[in-house]
Amino acid sequence: MRSLRARLFVAILGAVLLAVGASLALGVVLTKSAVRDTIRGDVEAQAEAFASQLRRLPARSALKLRAGAPPLPGAAAGVPPRQPPGGPTQAGVVTAGDGGGAPVTVLSLAAASEVLPASALSALRAGDAADGTVEIEGRSQIYAAERSGRSVVLVTRPDVVSGDDFSRYLSALLIASGVAALLAAAVAALLARRLTQPLRRLGAAAGELAAGRRPESVPREGTEELDELATAFNGMAEQLALAHDAERAVLLSVSHDLRTPLTSIRGYAEGIEDGTVDPGMAAAVVGREAARLERMVGDLLALARLRQGVLEVRSEPIDLAAVAREAEERLRPRAREAEVDVRVEGGPAPATADHGRALQVVTNLLDNAIRVSPADGTVTIAVAPGEIFVSDQGPGIPEPELSQAFERFHLRDRAGNGSPDGAGLGLAIVRELTAAMGGDAVVENLPGGGARFTVRLPS
pLDDT tens digits for range 100-115: 445 788 888 888 888 8
* pLDDT of the residue at 343: 93
On whether the CB atoms of residues 452 and 434 are closer than 8 A, the answer is no
* pLDDT of the residue at 250: 60
In terms of pLDDT, which residue wins out, 448 or 366?
366
* pLDDT of the residue at 33: 81
Taking only the tens place, the pLDDT of each residue in 117-142 is 888 888 888 888 888 888 877 778 88
Taking only the tens place, the pLDDT of each residue in 243-264 is 777 667 666 656 656 776 788 7
Report how far residue 405's alpha carbon sits from residue 409's, in angstroms, rounded to the nearest whole number. Answer: 9
Long-range contacts of 437-441 (CB under 8 A, 24+ apart): 437/313, 437/315, 437/353, 437/354, 437/357, 437/358, 438/315, 438/352, 438/353, 439/353, 439/386, 441/361, 441/406
Helix (H, G, I), strand (E, B) or coil at 79: coil
> Mean per-residue pLDDT for 337-354?
91
Give me the phi and psi of 277, to 5 degrees please: -125, 140
On whether the CB atoms of residues 220 and 227 are closer than 8 A, the answer is yes
- Res. 192: pLDDT tops 60: yes
* pLDDT of the residue at 72: 36
Report how far residue 74's alpha carbon sits from residue 342's, in angstroms, rounded to the nearest whole number. Answer: 125
Report how far residue 218's alpha carbon sits from residue 60's, in angstroms, rounded to the nearest whole number. Answer: 96
| pLDDT tier, 383 (very low <50, low <70, confident <90, very high otherwise) | very high
Taking only the tens place, the pLDDT of each residue in 67-104 is 333 333 333 333 333 444 444 334 344 444 444 445 78
Count of other CB atoms within 10 angstroms of residue 398: 11
Nearest to 32 by CA among 140, 137, 116: 140
* pLDDT of the residue at 164: 56
Report how far residue 254's alpha carbon sits from residue 404's, in angstroms, rounded to the nearest whole number. Answer: 19
Tally the C-alpha atoms within 13 A of residue 385's C-alpha that lie toward its C-beta: 1
Q: Which CATH class is domain 314-456?
A: alpha beta
Tally the C-alpha atoms within 13 A of residue 247's C-alpha that lie toward its C-beta: 7
* pLDDT of the residue at 317: 94
Looking at this protein, which amino acid is placed at residue 1? M
On whether the CB atoms of residues 93 and 115 are closer than 8 A, the answer is no
Give me the phi and psi of 147, to 5 degrees please: -85, 135
- Res. 418: pLDDT tops 70: no
pTM confidence score: 0.44
* pLDDT of the residue at 411: 54
Separation of first and last alpha carbons in the chain: 60
| Backbone region of residue 223 per phi and psi (left: phi > 0; alpha: psi in -120 to 50; beta: other values) | beta
Report how far residue 277's alpha carbon sits from residue 267's, in angstroms, rounded to the nearest whole number. Answer: 10
- Res. 153: pLDDT tops 70: yes
> From start to end of 285-329, where are the E strands?
316-319
Q: Which CATH architecture has domain 217-311?
A: Orthogonal Bundle (1.10)
Q: Which of 62-71, 86-95, 360-369 has the lowest mean pLDDT?
A: 62-71
Nearest to 282 by CA among 271, 293, 274: 271
- Res. 169: pLDDT tops 80: no
| pLDDT tier, 440 (very low <50, low <70, confident <90, very high otherwise) | very high
What are the start-end ranges of the H helices in 344-452?
355-372, 426-436
Domain boundaries in the chain? 4-168, 217-311, 314-456
The DSSP code sequence of 410-422 is: TTTTGGGS--TTS
